[in-house]
Amino acid sequence: MKVFIGWDSREDIAYQVCRESLARNSSVFLDINPIKQTDLRERNVYWREPDPLSSTEFSFTRFLTPYLAGYSGWALFMDCDFFWRGDVAGVMDYADPKYAVLCVKHKYKPKETTKMDGNLQHKYPKKNWSSLMLLNCDHPDVKQNLTLTTVNIATGMYLHQFRWTLEENIGELPVAYNYLEGWHTRDICPNPVAVHMTRGGPWFKDWQDVEYADEWLAVANQFDENHRQSKLKSQGEVMSKLLVPVRDKTRKENGL
């Protein structure tokens, strides 16, 4: 299953936890790829001028997912501030080839004027639809309308409001796969598969008490510990390799 996650230099830990929670709950092999704007610019895949209204580095690069997937098969894109509590493979049950894209069709009207670390909270039709997209990379609308050139020059409205395809070609996923923290409630969805901390998450100092923060922090702490242990092991292996010649030299000098 091809999965692409938007990556932002300010939210690397959010990406890491998203990736970790995805992998640990998945029943299928996942080919997970970060979408990094700097890498795409170096490859001359993305040359769009920076947009002052963009709240993340992947606001527009997300629409390069079909290109990165080779315009073949199905590919799932998600923002980095997703936290997976269940199996992502379930979205494939909805992968009907008649659709160009499937998403949760939110009727989201945020109350806040800012989000994350002080970014403006913009309001527009189909807001957050593009935060999780199951893209049919073989569909004509995707191949013809989400080209490199289009993604680099099209307006935000054209891309985020799915004007690149017809309304009947937009399929719907259950809310459980894109549960908006702070907007949806457990009355609507008692056991979300994926929690989207779209307003901000525990990796920001002002968003420590959001819903499901305790579960997110548990995964983050485990990731930090595993990363620390892996780093120590790697350092130990390097040091052992460096010390071998010194030991051998010392043994020879002492006639051993």
Length in residues, the chain: 256
Residue 240 is encoded by which pair of tokens? 């052992």
Rounded CA-CA distance 18/223 in Å is 11
3-state secondary structure of 190: coil
Joined tokens for residue 114: 């800012």
Structural domains of the chain in order of their starting residue, each with its CATH number: 2-212 (3.90.550.10)
For residue range 219-237, what is the model confidence (pLDDT) as tens digits?
999 998 877 676 555 545 5
Q: What is the pLDDT of residues 111-123, one digit of tens each?
A: 654 445 655 455 6
* pLDDT digits 0-9 by tens, 17-72: 999 999 999 999 999 999 999 999 999 999 999 888 888 999 999 999 999 999 99
Alpha-carbon gap, residue 129 to 147, rounded angstroms = 20
